[in-house]
Amino acid sequence: MSKFVIRGQRALSGDITPVGNKNAALPMLAACLLTEEPVTLRNLPQINDVRVMLELLEKLGVEVSQRKNTVILCAANLKTAKLDPERCRRVRGSILFAGPLLTRFQKVALAPPGGDVIGRRRIDTHFYGLHKLGARINSQHSHTLTRKELIGTDILLDEASVTATENIVMAATVAKGKTTIFNAACEPHVQDLCQLLVKMGARIEGIGTNFISVHGVKKLKGATHTISPDYIEAGSYLAAAAATGGSLNVHGMSQRGVNPVIKHGFERLGVAWTVDKNTWKLPAKQTMAVNQDLHAAVPKLEDGTWPSFPSDLMSVAIVLATQVNGSILFFEKMFESRMYFVDRLIEMGAGIVQCDPHRVMVVGPRALQGSLLTSPDIRAGMALIIAALCAKGESTIDNAQMIDRGYENIDERLRSLGADIERIE
């Protein structure tokens, strides 16, 4: 168990280059199982969730060769289709092995996936899609999937699940015939996975839309791919810099369509930046005020499926709002437990009223006081770091390893921007 000790009220300023997108990296690691040839991934984030996924791959028999942020994976000699239960409990992304393993084995054994406790996270959509492709599912304490062959079909997802879309697309790449997926997720990391699969020889149409067609091929080949930058990490650092009155240049943000989505949410809080080629430039000491709605209606920031504001940025946006002039309602539509961390902010002096599990009203600005905190999940943990960076005095955040699951070298990178943060093991 490790913890962060933070002494706040220092403006964060400088330059940052986000690492590879965590939510793209995890399905890409699973995708190496689709071929016997080597798959090379560059810009791989060195975070705990990635380490666990690599351990799971090695247990399956995948040859893993890693040097810094580049990994070469070769699944030519798989020895089992049974995933290690203990490691599955440590990472949500373990469910992403289901589709790829089914393309290599007729029987696959999965343990229930772990991950953040932010509300009910269904896996029904995964199994529904794989069942439509020809898999039989037996779910009791664990999950056993069997199949004779995978055959393309029309699939209507009951929710636009990112990981379910990724699982089904991966299985469909080598299924017999054509698969169409209605109500598919179209987040940038889904698009990034599809681009890797295309390099591997997959035939996919509709990338970036909610209607994806996959024409099955007999065999996929190896490929080399650079994982796109993590826009959630970029948004987190922007929130930290803005909340502390600092300036920030975020480099390498070239992925099409990401900036307008992220910027729109921040502009509701009076925070804006300019774009110079592939760099987002946030100026210091902005006059931050909630952008008011017409006719004195209460302003609202809500999340949703892409291109709505991402759920993974709601926690940091709430902390940012405590330092902004005005009142705003946050509506978390995706997960019913994501908002529970606001109790810690209220203890620090934030002006927050929790209306129900999905909605909180934030009234700012309010001075925050240092406190003893515990990170409940990745994104709430990052939000508590930002709150501590704003607060007067010293804060201690326990369970720091939870934050390490999604942010690479977070304490070192924050210190490079001027934060007074120390990790204690």
Which residues are the active-site residues? 116
326 alpha carbon, distance to own chain's centre: 29
Pairwise CA distance, residues 115 & 275, whole Å: 34
Largest CA distance in the chain: 65
Q: Where are the alpha helices (DSSP H) in 33-181?
A: 48-60, 85-88, 98-104, 124-132, 162-172
Q: Which residues of 227-243 are buried (b: 16+ CB within 10 A; e: fewer)?
A: bbbbbbbbbbbbbbbbb
Q: Measure CA of the first residue to CA of the last residue in the chain; give whole Å.
A: 6
Integer angstrom CA distances of residue 305 from 75, 154, 176, 228, 392: 33, 22, 30, 19, 36
SS3 per residue for 204-254: EECCCCCEEEEECCCCCCCEEEECCECHHHHHHHHHHHHHCCCCEEECCCC
- Provide CB contacts within 8 A for 327, sequence distance 6+: 290, 298, 299, 361, 362, 363, 364
Q: Which of 57, 89, 91, 87 is nearest to 71 (CA)?
A: 57
**Bond into 365 cis (ω within 30):** yes
- Counting beta carbons within 10 angstroms of the beta carbon of residue 206, is it exposed (0 to 12), middle (13 to 18) or buried (19 or more)? middle
